[in-house]
Structure formats: C-alpha cells, structure tokens
Structure 1
C-alpha cells in the first residue's frame, strides 16, 4: 500500500464525523468556558485542549474503530449493514486492509497506550494516565471478547461509551482547575447523554444485520425491537433525549440561559426521532445528521453560557 492510500485508509477508519460530534463536542463544551470566563494562561489552555483533541482522535477515532471494525467483521454484522452512516468504516469490506492486519495494529496500539499510561502515572501525570486508561477500557470492552459489551443491551453504552465521553468532556477542568465547578459536571453529562442518544439512532439501520450476526449483536435498539416491535427501535434514543431534557432542567436551575437552550435542543431532538421513517435507512441517516449538528450546538451553547 502506497503512502497516499495508507492515509486515505487511515482517514476512512477514523470516521472523523463520529469523533467530531461526540468526543470533540464534549471537549468544547467544557474547554470553551475556561477561555471565556477564566484567566488561565492561553498557552496552558491550548496545550491541554490539543492534548485532549489528539487523545480523542487517537483512542476514539483510531483504536476504538479498529477494534470495532475487527469485531463486527468477524461477527459479519458489518457485511450485512446498509452502510450509510453505520456499518463501520468498511475498510475490511472494501479490501483496503485484512481483518488480521487490523487486529495486529489494534494489539500494538493497546500496548502503546497502556505503556504510555503506566509511564505517565509513575512520572506524576496521574490524571492524564487515568484518562488514557478510561479510554482504553472503553475501546477494549465495547468491542473485544470476552466482555464485548457493545453486543449486549444497555451495558455497552453505559459501561463502555458513557465513561469515555463523559470523562473526555470533564477532563479539561479536571486537569486545570483545583476544584472543577458545577458547570463542568453539567456540560460533560449533557453532551455524553446527547451522544448516547444519537448513537442509538445510528444503530437503527443496522438492527436487522446486528440480530443476524454471529454472535448476535443485541444492542439496546435490537433488544427493544425484538421485545415490543420495530416501532420501538426509536425508544432508546427517545429515552436518552428525555434524560437530556431532565439534565437541562438541572442546568436551568443554575444557568437559566444555558438550561433553556439545552431544553429546546432536547425537545427538537425528540421531535426529530419521532419523525424517523424506520422503513427507509436513508431517512434515518439524514435525521441522524441533524442530531449530530444539534449535539454540537448544545456543546457550544452550554459552553458559552455559564
């Protein structure tokens, strides 16, 4: 593989859209207030911001997607996916790299991240080490056996995805401030919930491929579909956006402008999910794009008004 092809493959693997509207959004929601309302040195803030963005890109964009693409290829769910916004990066399906090579890269990456975390811990950078370990936990446990939490309802998003998105959002104030303020917890929680909600929509086009995988990938979407009927495929997203609206009420009690904006965005998101045409994957993917944009708007809005 020549250098241009290598870079194209890596860029496809990273799935920048997913990283931008989840991890990057969470970072912006809690870093922006420190630029606008605090007197920390700009150089220090920028260094932390760049470190967090790079960490999110490498662990979420690179390692997590490597492991997820490998596991979903082995279970064949990505082979059967409609593959619009969902279905992995498809670099295996398009013969850009073999599953075996991807696994080797993933194992090497795990060793590098774990080694870096250990070195940083014993060098006194304990918080950064902890953040790396949380990201590593999320990447491995979501996709890889024996846990493979993403193949089970609820536990995948709560025990793998949520900790990673919440802590990458909370990381900036946690690293820089002696005592992170309430808005840091609120903003990190809100964007983590927004992310979980749009990821549930992301799973909808894959619901039939997931349940026919080997082993079956019983996401929360698949579980509710099988239990109550296909119309309930949208229920997980509705639930998480409802939690976003409750979080908005908490924010409103402390920051009325931020909370009101977050509530409006939550209700608009609920309306969009209710309008999903489950019979047409293209419609679901188009509306998912709207939810991605609303997630970023929520991050900017709550970051601007503290």
Structure 2
C-alpha cells in the first residue's frame, strides 16, 4: 500500500493516545450503555447507534482535539521537551518531526471551527442534547489547554472545570439519550468513572513534575502544587485523594448494589496500594503501575455496568 496514504493514518493513531482514551472515555461509555443492553427493553440497533455515536465523539474530542491542543501548548511552554516521555510527555508527534507545531495548531483551529459549526447545526435542527454534549466536550478541550484559561496549568481547577465535566457527561450520555431520564445507577457510574479518570491522570503527571516546573509558564498541576507545598514525596497526594473519593463514592452504591460496591472498593483499594507503594523517582516503575491502573479503570467501568 502507498506509504503516503498510510502516513496520515499512522500519525493520527499516534496522536490519539488510544490507551488513555479507551481507559477513560470509552470505559465510561460502556459503563452506561452495557446495562441498557442487559437490563432494558431497548432496540439493539438504537443502542448500537448511540454507542457508536458516543464512541466516535469521544475519540474525536478526547483523542484528537484535546491531544492536538495539549501537545501544541505543552510544546510551546517547553514541558514536553523535558518530560521522561514514557507514557507522559504528549504524543511526541512534534518532537519526532511527524507533524510540525504550526500544522498541529492549524488543524486544531480548523477542528474547533468545524465542531462549533456542527453544534450550531444541531441546535438549529433541534438536537439539543447532542449539541450540549458536544459543546461540553469542546469546552473541556479548549479550556484545559488554550490560553487565556489554560486550566491544566492550574492546580485542581483543570481537573474540575475541564476534565471532570467532559468525562462525567459522557458517562451520563448513553442513558440520557436512550431513556430521556437519568437513572441513579447511571449517575453513580458516571461520577465514579470520572473520579477514577482524575486519579489516574494525577499518576500520569507524577513523572512530569520537574519538566512541568521548568515550563514557561510553569505548568503547576495538582502534582506540582502538592510537591511544592509539602515536598517531593507528596507528589502522589492528588492521586491518593481522588482514589479515596472514588472509594467513598462506592459506599453510596449501598446494599442495593452490593456487588458493585465491593468491586469498586477492591479496585480503588488496589490503586491506592499501588500509588502508596510506587517509587516516584523511578519513572519506569511509575509507568508500569500506571498501566495497571489503566486496566483497573476499565475493569471497574465494566463491573459497574454489569452490577446495577
């Protein structure tokens, strides 16, 4: 096959960082759509259409747009150049010369424009729910990376105003679009999956803490804030906090969802153990533990989807 044809596909795949998108966005979609397949009398073709719509949207927003903007801004600030670059440090498409920074920024702007036009079109034709979901996704990508907000460079604000809303509404979307109401189990699953996502992203930032401090402007993530406030050993504090919150939310599931509660407590407890055990100076070990945590995120999402 012609190499010039394969190149854009390969470059797009690298930029997607599909493992991260699958363990967060796709997992939270499955966690809501799976119960609809198993326990509700909804036509399978309708559920399949909604799943594929959300799946495509997740990869387009969280995989393509978010990573385009994040790679570009982090390259401009210099943090990605100094990152250990194992799982962290961006997709490396700029550093390896696959895509230039200017081209990535141009593609990002065109994608923002195109998606904004789609939102307007959806509103005009009365697809208000889909328009709102897409608008929140666009907000998350833009506010997380682009100036003047650039919320990923501010401790805690980036997680709660950009990342959490984007993943949370994606977790609600399957039930909302299918049932017109949001059952309590869907709300529970969406919150727990979103919190788990915040937690593993904090683990993801641990190896980058020194590179982020060297950036201009400083990328003061929650990890960097905790390290500067309490010392290097406390780089793990944000991850511990969010995994603990995940475990507390599991108690909310109560006896009505006893197996779901047990499973989430076990997964959150395992993640807490890994974060406490990891040697934060050993980037290879942190990366290895992060991979395990990504698997735990997927297990937890499916588990919550089975036991409603």
Runs (4+) of structure 1 moved beyond 6 Å?
none
Mapped pair 1:94 → 2:96: yes
Cross-structure match for 2:174 = 172
What is the CA–CA distance in structure 1 between the aligned matches of 2:68 and 2:301, rounded to whole Å? 27
Cross-structure match for 1:140 = 142
Moved more, 244-253 or 233-242: 244-253
What is the CA–CA distance in structure 2 between the aligned matches of 1:18 and 1:84, rounded to whole Å? 13
Mapped pair 1:235 → 2:237: yes
Alpha-carbon contact 1:12-1:91 (below 8 Å) kept: yes
In the TM superposition, 1:191-206 aligns within 5 A as: 191-206=193-208
What is the CA–CA distance in structure 2 between the aligned matches of 1:132 and 1:93, rounded to whole Å? 30
Mapped pair 1:37 → 2:39: yes
Alpha-carbon contact 1:134-1:164 (below 8 Å) kept: yes
Alpha-carbon contact 2:175-2:182 (below 8 Å) kept: yes
Alpha-carbon contact 2:207-2:281 (below 8 Å) kept: no
What is the CA–CA distance in structure 2 between the aligned matches of 1:178 and 1:119, rounded to whole Å? 21
Cross-structure match for 1:305 = 307
Deviation at 1:222, TM superposition (A): 0.3
What is the CA–CA distance in structure 2 between the aligned matches of 1:151 and 1:35, rounded to whole Å? 40
Q: Pick the aligned partner of 2:81 from 74, 79, 83.
A: 79
What is the CA–CA distance in structure 2 between the aligned matches of 1:184 and 1:159, rounded to whole Å? 21
What is the CA–CA distance in structure 2 between the aligned matches of 1:207 and 1:252, rounded to whole Å? 37
TM-score by length of 2: 0.98
Cross-structure match for 1:266 = 268
Deviation at 1:252, TM superposition (A): 2.5
Q: Pick the aligned partner of 1:110 from 112, 124, 127.
A: 112
Alpha-carbon contact 1:252-1:260 (below 8 Å) kept: no
Deviation at 1:253, TM superposition (A): 4.0
Q: How many pairs does the alignment contain? A: 306
Cross-structure match for 2:226 = 224
Pairwise CA RMSD:
0.8
Cross-structure match for 1:51 = 53
What is the CA–CA distance in structure 2 between the aligned matches of 1:275 and 1:20, rounded to whole Å? 25
Alpha-carbon contact 2:74-2:80 (below 8 Å) kept: yes
Moved more, 249-258 or 215-224: 249-258
Alpha-carbon contact 1:52-1:168 (below 8 Å) kept: yes
Unaligned residue ranges in structure 1 (runs of 5+): none
